[in-house]
Amino acid sequence: PLAVESTNPTNNALNVVVTSNVTTSFSISIENTTVNTGTFTIRGEQTGIYTGAYTLPTTDTIQFDPTMNFKSGEVINASISNGLESTGAINATPYQWQFHAAVNGGHANFISNTQTFSSSMPL
């Protein structure tokens, strides 16, 4: 079967660099004409579907290079549909995973405040 063997970033990865590509390796060779946003989808919870370029660095690996960086702190959901096919016309086993984009800094301002509590109820 055409099945996912590994992903980068991995499932539930934290602090993924916002400029990262998404790479998935499969059990057998992929038919490159079936690789598109419908069969290999990268969706940000804030952004929606990411567009970008798909390449096959090897016959069994897909790499997705998003057009824009992931948003800081965004949860990214990735999915492979059964529309993806092997070179032997075997449909992929559907697969989903997610990862979290790194937070690139930030600031906070805390104000010291002493609170006094009292009670007016008799004992």
Q: How far is CA 100 from the centre of its chain?
A: 7
| pLDDT of the residue at 64 | 99
| pLDDT of the residue at 114 | 74
Per-residue pLDDT of the chain (123 residues; tens, 9 = 90+): 999 999 999 999 999 999 999 999 999 999 999 999 999 999 999 999 999 999 999 999 999 999 999 999 999 999 999 999 999 999 999 999 999 999 977 776 777 777 776 667 766
- The domain total for the chain is 1
Does residue 63 sit within a domain? yes
Q: Are 59 and 9 in contact, with CB atoms under 8 Å apart?
A: no
Indicate the pTM of the whole model: 0.83
CATH code at 76? 2.60.40.1220
> Which range of residues forms the domain containing residue 48?
4-101
